[in-house]
Amino acid sequence: MIKFPESPNFRFAFCERNGFDFAYNWKVFTTEIVEAIWRSEMKTEPPPRPHFIISGYKRIPQHPIALLVGNPITKFIAACHEDGIEIDEAISKVSEGKFPSFHFFPQSRFLGFGGQPIYLWKAPDHIEHFWETLNLGEPPKIYNKEFDFQYSDKLREIYKDDFELYESIKNPQTLAESKSQVNPTLWEQMRNVGFAVGKFTASGFKPTPPEILTERESTCRSCDQWDAAALKNTGRCKKCGCSTWAKLRMATERCPLGKWEAVSAEEGKQ
């Protein structure tokens, strides 16, 4: 199974579209999606590689995430072709946790990321539904090709989480289950705090309205994932590792278990 490196470039990228933050899942129709967004918004043909210059590009998601998941074998072969690397060499590198490029990043890295719910579509089975949901226009033509891949078992061993993710998707727009994070590592806690502070800052430090804060506090106190004695009795969430005292007061935050959501602009005006 892949151990994802701590800070590679291009690890996460998103583009806002039709109420979702579309996740850039490299070599799974990403270029086709980005070009469709460009055509829709700019009313012109897209320039070469418009991935990071289209409207709504961001590093941290602020809306539910739309993730199109591809067959790990097909994705791996496409990445080899894109980067001009022999399959034998690529297998050897990823076996050691070394990625020839971001095209080889595991798809399962998005699970539990950014505090937003993640909705899954399987490629190419759910392409038409995905295109319609994100309002992308005409879906691309799909060319299915049967092939034998001698490294299938090895790839399944390396990308175990990716195969499990892909095979878990039975219907389009399936809500993903977050990774278990009962005891988050120090790195994970720091990462979660960083995401929270980033969103809170971007909102102009919008506080949670008093009546919603009361509801949040009541929900957390009755939750079995709340550690009341932690952080000098101010409380800590066991799921994400965050200080509940701070997190509850940030309007932009949501419960990692989905028990309460971020405050909308309309709610904040009340």
Same domain, 142 and 100: yes
Decide which of 175, 210, 230 is a domain's last residue. 175
Asked whether residue 126 falls in the same domain as residue 152, the answer is yes
Residue 8 within a domain: no
Residues 169 and 202 both lie in one domain: no
Question: Would residue 82 count as lying in a domain?
Answer: yes
Looking at residue 6, its pLDDT comes to: 43
In a domain, 181, yes or no: no
Let me know whether 32 and 94 are in one domain. yes
| pLDDT tens track, the chain, 270 positions | 444 444 444 578 999 999 999 999 999 999 999 999 999 999 999 999 898 898 888 888 889 999 999 999 999 999 999 999 999 999 999 988 788 988 999 999 888 666 789 999 999 999 999 999 999 999 998 877 666 788 999 999 999 999 999 999 999 999 997 654 445 555 566 666 777 787 888 888 999 999 999 999 999 988 888 888 888 888 888 888 888 899 999 999 988 888 899 887 555 544
Domain membership flag for residue 3: no
Residue 216 forms part of a structural domain: yes
Domain annotation covers residue 77:
yes
Q: Are 197 and 139 in contact (CB under 8 A)?
A: no
Structure tokens at 114: 């950014």
Cβ-based neighbours of 152, under 8 Å, separated by 6 or more: 73
Q: Does 198 lie in the same domain as 163?
A: no
Does residue 155 lie within any of the structural domains? Answer: yes
Domains: count for the chain: 2
Count of CA atoms in the C-beta half-sphere (13 A) of 139: 15
Residue 32 lies in a domain: yes
220, 117: one domain? no
Both 47 and 130 in a single domain?
Answer: yes
Give this prediction's pTM. Answer: 0.66
Based on the fold, state whether residues 205 and 164 are members of the same structural domain.
no
User: What is the pLDDT, as a whole number, of residue 116?
Assistant: 85
Which of 175, 203, 229 marks a domain boundary?
175
Are 107 and 41 in a shared domain?
A: yes
Whether residue 138 sits in one domain with residue 90: yes
Tell me which of 114, 147, 175 is where a domain ends.
Answer: 175
Task: Verify that 164 and 85 share a domain, yes or no.
Answer: yes
Which residue segment(s) compose the domain that 103 sits in? 14-175
Do 193 and 154 share a structural domain? no
